[in-house]
C-alpha cells in the first residue's frame, strides 16, 4: 500500500490528536481508574485496604486491643478481652470495665467503689487503704467470690 505525503500528514495529525485525547482522559479519569487498593477515603495516607479505620483519619493505626479495628473507630476497645471496654475510649459502646487489665466478666464489686473485686486491693472496704483498720480487715478476710 502506497502512502503519499498528504496521507502521512493526516496520519500524523490523527496520531497526535489521539495521544492528546488519551492523555487528557487519563488526567481526568485518574481518580476513578486507580485500583481499590489505592483509595484512601479519610486521607490519612493509609490506603483503605490496609487502614484499620478507613473512614476516620488515624495515620498512627493504633489498635491497643489488637482486634484489627483502630482505637479511634473501635466500638469496644477491650484489652483484657472480657467484653467490657477500657475507660478513656470515647468510641466505646460496650459497658466500662471495672478492672481493665484483669479478665473479670462478672464485674463483681462487693464494696461498690467502682473497682472490681478481681483488681481491688481490699474488695470489702470502699475506702481501700484509707485507714489501717480496714487494711487489717482486708488481710484477715479471704476474698470470697
Ligand atoms: Ca484511617
Ligand atoms: Ca481495636
Ligand atoms: Ca476486666
Ligand atoms: Ca471494689
DSSP 41: T
What is the predicted pLDDT for the residue at 144?
Answer: 47
Q: What is the pLDDT of residues 37-67, one digit of tens each?
A: 689 999 999 999 999 999 999 999 999 999 9
Overall pTM > 0.85: no
pLDDT of residue 13: 81
**pLDDT given at position 20:** 82
Q: Give residue 64 CA to ligand 3 midpoint distance, Å.
A: 15
75 Cα to the center of ligand 1, angstroms: 15
Which pLDDT belongs to residue 22? 79
Q: What pLDDT score does 145 carry?
A: 44
Predicted local confidence at residue 16, as pLDDT = 86
User: Which residues in the chain show pLDDT less than 70?
Assistant: 1-6, 26-37, 127-145
**pLDDT in the model for residue 10:** 81
Nearest bound ligand to the CA of residue 114? 4
Output the CA 77–ligand 3 centroid distance in Å.
11
**Lookup result for grid cell 482505637:** 71
CA of 55 to the centre of ligand 1 (A): 6
Q: Residues 6 or more apart from 25 whose CB is under 8 A from it? A: none
Provide the residue ranges of all domains of the chain, joining segments of one domain with +: 1-30, 55-107, 108-140
* pLDDT on residue 123: 83
Q: Collect residues with CB below 5 Å from ion ligand 4.
A: 109, 111, 113, 115, 120
Q: What is the pLDDT of residue 14?
A: 84
Q: How far apart are the first and last CA of the chain?
A: 98
Helices and strands: H and E segment counts in the chain: 2, 0
What distance in Å separates the CA atoms of residue 140 and residue 93, rounded to the nearest whole number? 39
* Backbone dihedral angles phi then psi of residue 59, each to the nearest 5 degrees: -60, -20
Amino acid at each position: 500500500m502506497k502512502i503519499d505525503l498528504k496521507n502521512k500528514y493526516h496520519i500524523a495529525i490523527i496520531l497526535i490528536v489521539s495521544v492528546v485525547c488519551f492523555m487528557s482522559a487519563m488526567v481526568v479519569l485518574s481518580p476513578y481508574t486507580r485500583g481499590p487498593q489505592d483509595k484512601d477515603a479519610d486521607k490519612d495516607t493509609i490506603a483503605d485496604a490496609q487502614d484499620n479505620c478507613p473512614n476516620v483519619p488515624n495515620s498512627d493505626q493504633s489498635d491497643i486491643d489488637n482486634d484489627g479495628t483502630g482505637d479511634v473507630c473501635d466500638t469496644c476497645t477491650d484489652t483484657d478481652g472480657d467484653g467490657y471496654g477500657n475507660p478513656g475510649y470515647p468510641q466505646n459502646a460496650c459497658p466500662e470495665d471495672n478492672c481493665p487489665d484483669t479478665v473479670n466478666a462478672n464485674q463483681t464489686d462487693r464494696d461498690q467503689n467502682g473497682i472490681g473485686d478481681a483488681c481491688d486491693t481490699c474488695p470489702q472496704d470502699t475506702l481501700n487503704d484509707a485507714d489501717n483498720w480496714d487494711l487489717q480487715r482486708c488481710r484477715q478476710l479471704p476474698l470470697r467470690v
